[in-house]
Structure 1
Amino acid sequence: MRIASSPKEIPSNTTASVGTFDGIHLGHQAILEKLNQRARELESESLLITFNPPPPLFFGTASALLSTPEEKVALLEETGLQNLLILAFSEAIVQMEPEDFIEGVVVDGLKVNEIVIGETHKFGRRKRGDFRLLRELGNRWGFGVDVLTPITYKGAAISSSRVRRAVEKGQVDDVGSMLGREYSFTGRVIKGVGRGKRLAYPTANLNVENLKLLPLNGVYAVRVELADGSFPAVMNIGTRPTFVDTQRNVEVHLLDFDEALYGEFLKVYCVKRLRDEKAFESEKALKSQIERDLRMAKELL
């Protein structure tokens, strides 16, 4: 996949889509599948036009995202996309009329032959641009427009904002259904204070990129991917209220695993939320609950 920051780096014969594509959920996957199909039929190359920083961060409607830039690139490569154009997102683009964006970037800059877009996609100043305007502009400037209806889940359209809300609520099973895969993140193992080891259930404490959206505080059944395999595990996200910590921590206990992991990068796949995080009256009570959590995780995983 070619990754570019300027239209000049992209071949002139492309079939394109435009959007943030945070998370690459099932709706995005349908658009990308159609995009690649139309590119083959038109004997062109597929192109996704996206932005950095992503609009949700630029506007402050989200403080973290479903996909880091590296994750997004990896997911897009898996779809077979041929070209990714990452445009600098700025106030100038925010204030650009939709006609000006299409003429200046899509028509003159890229010479796109067809645009594949979701039915609910909005673009341009005050979000005035939509698929109806695109069709008008396509007739004027000679490009085709394919419009896809939204993919739904539980009776409502799947969107990145909906998936982010579900992550924030800890609804990781619903998130997985909307993504078509388990929600995951990567963290580097750092040194903790050793409480898990003292309780006979050592944990790997993870440092996760701030940009990555993490699920609601609580205890989860997860799978952890290492260089040499995948292991069932229990994850705790939160402030360890039994010990009156204040910093949010992410830690995982790998089942039937007893090796040093300091400095390693672990990929965590969120399978099911088990319970809320809570304070216990003693370490003994906490240990008893951990044992119950492990039994539940083993049944699920």
Structure 2
Amino acid sequence: METILLDNPIDSRKICSNAVVVLGFFDGVHIAHQKIIFKARKIADDKQVPLVVLTFDKHPKELYLDDKNFKYIDTLSEKTAKMRKFNVDLLVVMKFNESMCRLKPADFIDNVILMFNPSVVVVGYDYTYGPKKIANIHTLLTYSKGKFDLVIEPEATFKGEKIGSTEIKEAISHGNVKLAADLLGCPYSMSGVVVHGFHRGHMLGFPTANLCINSKKILPCNGVYATQTLIKGKLYNSMTSVGYNDTFNNSKKTIETYIFDFCEDIYDEKIILYWYEFIRNNIKFNDINSLIKQLNIDKTNIQRHFDKK
């Protein structure tokens, strides 16, 4: 898969010809997104033309609503890795800046979408390419003036509920990482670099990897989770704590992972965490021995969780 990063204003070049183009932000590349991509892939294969996905580097809400605390399921690199798995030929990432924010809906079609000279454009039922009232499916049909066929994928649901990035972020933020995995089609994951912490885990017999992640990532709520950790291509069962380490009165929120059957030095290494299940809330213990006892119970429960799977 080729990836192109475009700025705005853009030149008038044609990036490709007769492509099938998929439009969307695709945060999480969840199972509803996958349906759109699979449909577009089939159309592209039937026509024997490239499949192009056009997305943005940041969500438009960050600019339109001036939402500086907007959180994401995936970083851009994580989204790119997922697109590669779904057999996309070309991923085009447009920088969503003030210039793009001011672009009129008709100009977006003429200056951006038509760069690909698309025969077919595929979108989800709720696709917007600007403020919802003036840049929606209906205006896309109007302004495109028959220059390409428009295929609209209907709403997808899971157990009667809408599948969407907002719903997945809500599940994650409430600790329901199991539901998030169902909606994503895979466990929620986050990548980051292992940094030095307080080294209390070594003292307790449970040395942890402290993860430094992108600040825009949505975090599961405080608690202890069954996770798996990918290190240098190998997957390990692990238990992860999110929170302030109440027993030691930490003021800084941390993500600490105890990796089962692992004792290597991985400081400054990039690892990936996969989140499977919420185990318990954080507890403030009266003494160290009570904390160690609970950590052993957690480890046993999490190991049983993975043994069942």
TM-score tier by shorter-chain length is: over 0.9
Structure 1 gap ranges (5+):
none
Corresponding residue pairs, total = 299
Match of 1:86 in 2: 93
Contact 1:95–1:124 under 8 Å retained in 2: no
User: Aligned to 1:231, which of 224, 230, 236?
Assistant: 236
Report if aligned partners of 1:15, 1:39 keep a CA contact under 8 Å in 2.
yes
Tell me how far 1:45 sits from its aligned partner: 1.0
Deviations 1:223-278 (A, max 9, x none): 11112521111100111111010111111111222232222222111010101112
Q: CA RMSD in A?
A: 1.9
**One-letter code of the match for 2:150?**
V
TM-score, L = length of structure 2 = 0.90
Contact 2:69 2:216 in 1 (8 A): no
> Does the residue aligned with 1:247 lie in a helix, a strand or coil?
coil
Partner in structure 2 of residue 133 of structure 1:
139
The answer to whether structure 1 residue 103 and structure 2 residue 100 are counterparts is no
Percent identical among aligned pairs is: 27
Q: Distance between the aligned counterparts of 2:100 and 2:196, measured in 1?
A: 44
User: Which residue among 76, 100, 105 is the counterpart of 2:83?
Assistant: 76
Aligned to 2:217: 212
Q: TM-score, normalised by structure 1?
A: 0.92
Give runs of ≥4 in structure 1 deviating > 6 Å. none
- Bigger mean CA offset, 171-180 vs 12-21: 12-21
SS at 2:212 equivalent: strand
Are 1:11 and 1:110, in contact at CA under 8 Å, matched by a contact in 2? yes
For the residue of structure 2 that corresponds to 1:289, the secondary structure is helix
Given that 1:4 and 1:10 are in contact with CA atoms closer than 8 Å, whether structure 2 keeps it comes out as no
Letter aligned with residue 261 of structure 1: I
Aligned-partner Cα distance in 2 for 1:186–1:126: 32
Task: Tell me the residue number matched to 1:162.
Answer: 167
The whole-number CA distance in structure 2 between the counterparts of 1:64 and 1:288 is 35
Instruction: Specify whether residues 36 and 194 from structure 1 end up closer, same or farther in structure 2 by C-alpha distance, changes over 3 A only.
Output: same
Q: CA deviation at 1:103?
A: 2.4
> What is the CA distance between 1:65 and its match in structure 2?
1.0
CA contact (8 A) 1:93 1:124 kept: no
1:170 deviation in Å?
Answer: 1.1
Please list the CA deviations of residues 24-72 of structure 1 after superposition, one character each: whole Å capped at 9, or x if unmatched. 0001111111111111222221111111233243341753211111111
Q: What's 2:5 paired with?
A: 5
Contact 1:56 1:62 (8 Å CA) reproduced: no
**How far apart are the structure 2 equivalents of 1:171 and 1:97?**
39
**Structure 1 residue corresponding to 2:205, chosen from 200, 207, 225:** 200
Q: Does 1:246 align with 2:251?
A: yes
Where structure 2 has 5 or more consecutive residues not aligned to the other structure, the ranges are 7-11
